[in-house]
Amino acid sequence: MTPQRFRSSSVRDALAQAREALGPSALVLGTRLVPSSGWRGWLGGREVEVSAFAPSGVSENRRSRDAATAHPAHAPATTSRVPVTDSLVARLMATGLDRELAESVVEAIPQGRRRDVSQGQIREALATCLAPIATRGTALGDVNVFIGPPGVGKTTTIAKIAAQARARGERRYRLVAADGYRVGAVEQLRLYADIIGSPFVVARTPDEVTGAVTSSRLPVLVDTPGLSPANEEAGAFFAALSTLPAVHTHLVVPGGTTPRDFDRIWDRFALAGADRVVISKVDEAETVMPLVRALHERDVPVSLIGLGQRVPEDLVEGEPEMIAACLLGQVPVVHA
């Protein structure tokens, strides 16, 4: 059976459309965010698209109506999978999880506990499934470089890290602005450094940035311009940083980034050698599921999660439990 697609403003409504058209036993293949139809899409509007089909066990009347697109070879094997009609799977999909991840979560919960499962147990099971894309205990190193397009939250992320370390009484960070392009961003980072009490350096050449890093006795956070390494001058900065030992390079992307946009950003900054991702602006995203799926497919770990604009509170490490909470819409309130 060729999958049919149903669109709506929410997963719940799109699923309702699918079941009305295909029957209560409709099998959902996946969900994703897509541009809205018409002028709303041109203005950046998005809606949910659900792909579904009716299994071979539907009524004869419904099957004859869809006969023109039916093909038994397309029916997926279900012998080892949790039925999509499971109420818990549907419940998880209603929160924004795609079908594959929702079924993996259900499979991680013992059969006898699924009827009365708590939110905590669901979050724990989801965290287990997300463990491969977490950098538990290794989020930051001695030298941390933050890259990404303009406006994604690199400077704010650095300020949050430094401020949290200061609030906890840990070693201070040295803040390095490797940016000769964004005067406003340099001054913003300088202001944060003054407030936090962190050493601050502006490095306007590749030699200056390597000198600022190698001469520091403190761990370092390096802010970079939102330019691709393909840019000649920006590429020289990234090339200089790549020669330093034990560098952690964090690509910062907003939580609402679509898989297609993530692929484009990842490829654009590939020469910078990012080895982890900071998910920023989670508070502005309808769901982070499409981005998490893209990270899983590329096997890219999450180092940090930006929950909002508050400095220093709204930043947590990319532990499985935190990623799970964001996916379930249970973003925690963090106190400094």
Structural domains in the chain, sorted by start: 4-133 (no CATH), 143-318 (3.40.50.300)
State phi, psi for 276 to the nearest 5 degrees.
Answer: -165, 170
Q: Is 16 helix (H, G, I), strand (E, B) or coil?
A: helix
| DSSP designation for 231 | S
State phi, psi for 279 to the nearest 5 degrees.
Answer: -90, 115
- Residue reference for tokens 């306007």: 204
- Residue reference for tokens 């049919």: 4
DSSP per residue over 234-281, as a string? HHHHHHHHHTSTTEEEEEEEETT--HHHHHHHHHHTGGG---EEEEE-
CB-based contacts of 196, cutoff 8 Å, min separation 6: 159, 162, 163, 166, 172
| DSSP designation for 228 | -
State phi, psi for 13 to the nearest 5 degrees.
Answer: -65, -40
Distance between CA 126 and CA 143 in Å, rounded?
31
CA distances from residue 319 to 85, 124, 126, 185 in whole angstroms, order as listed: 30, 12, 12, 29
Gyration radius of the chain's alpha carbons = 23
Token pair recorded at residue 330: 């249970």
Q: Is 287 helix (H, G, I), strand (E, B) or coil?
A: coil
Distance between CA 209 and CA 149 in Å, rounded?
20
CA distances from residue 63 to 1, 19, 68, 69, 78 in whole angstroms, order as listed: 10, 14, 9, 10, 19
Q: How far is CA 109 from the centre of its chain?
A: 24
pLDDT tens, residue order, the chain (336 aa) = 456 888 887 777 777 888 788 877 666 666 677 776 654 554 556 677 777 766 544 433 343 344 434 433 333 443 344 444 467 888 888 777 888 888 888 888 888 787 788 888 888 989 988 888 887 667 899 999 999 998 899 999 999 999 999 988 888 999 999 865 665 668 888 888 998 899 999 988 888 989 999 999 999 999 988 877 777 777 888 888 888 888 999 999 999 999 999 999 999 888 888 899 999 999 998 889 999 989 988 889 999 999 988 888 899 999 999 999 988 887 665 655
Distance between CA 265 and CA 257 in Å, rounded?
10
Q: How far is CA 332 from the centre of its chain?
A: 16
